[in-house]
């Protein structure tokens, strides 16, 4: 039953606005919300945007973001596509399966580790040709004085390899939430976001808080709250939509 029933008596009227397309509609909705916020009559949390599908909300989200208006989407699929959340999940995937090349590529390619893009592409291609783990091949290349890696790339790979080893050791005896917290704190991700005073950084922190909420809620429900079993469960949920 998707009928909406008000639980507060707020005066208002239903208005019908025709638009030529979704972009115009999204701009109008975002503009109306921005006007209400600027007028001081209502807070951001007093507004809700409903749509028949989650995809229809993407233009509205983009329009709100342009105006610097913070918002939260109810569905989790959008959360899992956020770069900061994808980074955390890819790290957990490499802990669950150190030979997961796609996850390793996502981690090493993230700005947090600053690996040279050309070096990463060459390493990924070499791993595919040799049928080897990208993480293992990259680590070996970083420790090989004769490899053509740039100095920055060597340092980035070594930093990830060291962190990965510590996270893997922790994952054998600690629940998923603690391993995740170890990553965001030891990698410098939280410190970087704390230094940035911007709406984007605030949104990233909010998204990480939502991810931690999911981990803390789902983990204890599993037979074993360890990273491999949690990621197997979460990836099934993500795939199912």
Specify whether the CB–CB gap between 106 and 87 falls below 8 A.
yes
Phi/psi at 186 (nearest 5 deg)?
-75, -25
pLDDT at 92 over 80: yes
CB contact set of 12 (below 8 Å; sequence gap of 6+): none
Residue range 33-81, pLDDT digits in tens: 998 888 887 888 888 888 877 677 888 888 888 888 887 766 556 788 8
C-alpha 221/C-alpha 60 separation (Å) is 35
Residue range 103-127, pLDDT digits in tens: 999 999 999 998 999 999 999 999 9
C-alpha 93/C-alpha 99 separation (Å) is 9
In the structure encoding, which two tokens stand for residue 27, read together? 């701009």
Q: Kindly report the pTM of this predicted structure.
A: 0.71
Specify whether the CB–CB gap between 177 and 219 falls below 8 A.
yes
Identify the pLDDT of residue 144.
93
In the structure encoding, which two tokens stand for residue 89, read together? 């999940």
């Amino acid at each position: 039953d998707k009928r909406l029933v008000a639980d507060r008596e707020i005066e208002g009227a239903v208005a019908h606005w025709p638009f030529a397309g979704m972009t115009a509609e999204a701009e109008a909705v975002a503009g109306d919300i921005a006007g209400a916020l600027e007028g001081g009559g209502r807070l951001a949390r007093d507004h809700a945007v409903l749509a028949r599908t989650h995809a229809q909300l993407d233009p509205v989200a983009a329009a709100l973001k342009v105006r610097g208006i913070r918002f939260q989407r109810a569905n989790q699929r959008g959360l899992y596509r956020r770069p900061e959340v994808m980074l955390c999940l890819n790290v957990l995937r490499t802990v669950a399966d150190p030979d997961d090349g796609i996850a390793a590529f996502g981690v090493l390619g993230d700005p947090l580790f600053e690996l040279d893009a050309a070096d990463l592409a060459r390493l990924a291609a070499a791993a595919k040709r040799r049928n080897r783990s990208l993480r293992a091949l990259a680590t070996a290349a970083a420790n090989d004085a004769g490899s053509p890696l740039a100095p920055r790339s060597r340092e980035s790979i070594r930093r990830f390899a060291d962190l990965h080893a510590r996270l893997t050791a922790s994952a054998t005896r600690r629940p998923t939430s603690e391993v995740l917290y170890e990553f965001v704190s030891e990698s410098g991700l939280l410190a970087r976001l704390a230094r940035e005073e911007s709406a984007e950084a605030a949104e990233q922190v909010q998204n990480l808080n939502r991810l931690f909420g999911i981990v803390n809620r789902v983990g204890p429900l599993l037979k074993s709250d360890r990273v491999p079993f949690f990621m197997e469960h979460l990836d099934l949920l993500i795939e199912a939509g």
